[in-house]
Amino acid sequence: MRDVSIIGIGQVPIGDRWDKPIYFLAVEAMLAAIQDSHAERIDSVHIGNMLSSTLAGQDLLAGLATDQVGLRGVEATKIEAACSSGGAAFREAYLGVASGQVDFALVCGVEKMTDHPGEEITAGLVSASDADWESAQGDTFVAINAHLMQRYMYEYQVKHEDFAAFPINAHHNAMNNPYAMMHYELSREQFNQARMIADPINLLDCSPVCDGAAAIVLAPADIARRFTDFPVRVRASAIATDSLALHDRHNLLGLEAVALSASKAFEQARLRREDSGLFEARDAFSITAVLGLEACGFAERGHGWHMGRDGDISLGGRLPIGTMGGLKARGHPVGATGIYQIVEATLQLRGLAGKNQVKDAEIAMTQNIGGSGSNVVTHVLERE
C-alpha cells in the first residue's frame, strides 16, 4: 500500500442554496479542488451523498457531476452511508490511491436539503435509523438523540445547561469561517432559553438543515510536492459499525463503533490519542460531541462535558474541536459533512486557518458518524 496525501481542497459556502441544483454545488467544489491541486488529470471520482435519490429524485449523481466537470469517461461512483457518506467516500478514494489502482482521486461530499418541506427532510434523515423499530414508532433523529441525552443526564447527574459550552464554542469559531452558515455569537443565556424540540434537546443543541459541497484531490505521497507546497499525509483511515437501533446496543452511551474506529485509526497511524492537536468531531447535537469525546478516549465516561466547561475544546485548549464552527455552526449538509471536516483539518495543517489557526498543528483527527453511531469513519491527518 502506498502513502497518500491531500494535494487539493475546495468548498462552497454552506446555507440555503436555492439558486443552484445539487450537481451545481458539487461541480463548484470539485473544480475548486482540482484548481487547488494543479493536477492535470483525474483517474476516479467518488461522491458522498445521502439524500439525492430521496429529495432531488437524482440517482447516478456521481456520473452527472463528473460529466459536468468535464471528466466524461472517468470512473465515478456515489457512496451512501447516511451522515457518514462523505467520510466513507473519502476512504474509498484513499484506498484507490493507496492500492495503486489510481494516482489521482477526486472525492466530493454534497447535499441539498433546503428546497424541501421540513417533514420530507425529517423523513429522509430518519431513514438512517431502524425502519421497523425506531422510525416506524415515530422517532425522529432529534428524538433518538434526546433518548441519549436523557439517559446521560440521568446516569451522570448532569444538567442540560452543562452542555452549553459546546454550541457556544462552535458559534464562536464559525465567526471567522467565510464558508460557515451561522455567523453570530451564542450566549449561555440564549442556549438556556431556546425553544425545546425534543426534551431535553432544544433548538440550540441542534445543527441546522442546509446545503453545501466540499471536495478533495488525493495523490501518492511521493509525488505530492510536485503539485502543492502544502501536502497533508493521510496517516490512517478506519471504519467501524454498530447496530442502527439504540435498543440493540450493548452499551447505550458507549458508542462502540466510535471507540473501535478511533482505536483502529490510532493503531494504523502509530500514534497516541494525546498526539492529536485537534479533533473535528460530530457535534450534530451537543450530546453527540460529548459522547464522541468519551468514546474516543479523550475524556472519562460521564466527564466529556467537563472539556467544554474547562475550555479544553477551545482553539487554545487541550483538544480544539469544531475549529471552523463544526456541524453546529458551520452547518451539517449531511453527505458533505465528512469532507468539510477533512478540508478544515487540512487548512489547519497547512497553517492557513486564519484567525482560527490552532498553534503548531501537526496532527488532526476527523470523525464522521452516520446514524446515531452505527457507521463511523475516522481519519488521522499529518502535516508533511
pLDDT at residue 138, rounded to an integer: 84
**How many other C-beta atoms can be found within 10 angstroms of the C-beta atom of residue 280?**
29
**How many other C-beta atoms can be found within 10 angstroms of the C-beta atom of residue 19?**
8
Torsion sign (Cα): 56, 58, 62, 64 = negative
Q: Is the peptide bond before 167 cis (omega within 30 degrees of 0)?
A: no
Q: Burial-class residue 306 by CB neighbours within 10 Å (0-12, 13-18, 19+).
A: middle
pLDDT at residue 135, rounded to an integer: 87
3-state DSSP assignment of residue 307: helix
Listed in order, strand segments (DSSP E) in the chain are 4-11, 44-48, 75-79, 105-111, 196-198, 201-202, 212-220, 232-241, 278-280, 363-370, 375-383
The CA distance from 218 to 5, in Å, is 6
For every one of its 384 residues, what pLDDT tens digit does the chain have, with 9 covering 90 and above? 999 999 999 999 999 999 899 999 999 999 999 999 999 999 999 999 999 999 999 999 999 999 999 999 999 999 999 999 999 999 999 999 999 999 999 999 999 999 999 899 999 999 999 999 988 888 899 999 999 999 999 999 999 999 999 999 999 999 999 999 999 999 999 999 999 999 999 999 999 999 999 999 999 999 999 999 999 999 999 999 999 999 999 999 999 999 999 999 999 999 999 999 999 999 999 999 999 999 999 999 999 999 999 999 999 999 999 999 999 999 999 999 999 999 999 999 999 999 999 999 999 999 999 999 999 999 999 999
Catalytic residues: 83, 332
- Asked if residue 172 lies in contact with residue 188, where contact means CB atoms within 8 angstroms, the answer is no
| Cell 441519549, residue located | 148
The CA distance from 48 to 110, in Å, is 6
User: How far is CA 273 from its chain centroid?
Assistant: 19
pLDDT at residue 139, rounded to an integer: 87
Pull the grid cell for residue 159: 444538567
pLDDT at residue 98, rounded to an integer: 98
Among 38, 17, 124, 43, residue whose Cα is nearest residue 80: 124
Q: What are phi and psi of 247, to 5 degrees?
A: -70, -10
- Asked if residue 20 lies in contact with residue 117, where contact means CB atoms within 8 angstroms, the answer is no
Q: At what angle do helices 256-269 and 286-295 cross, to 10 degrees?
A: 50
The CA distance from 251 to 311, in Å, is 28
Note if the pTM is more than 0.85: yes
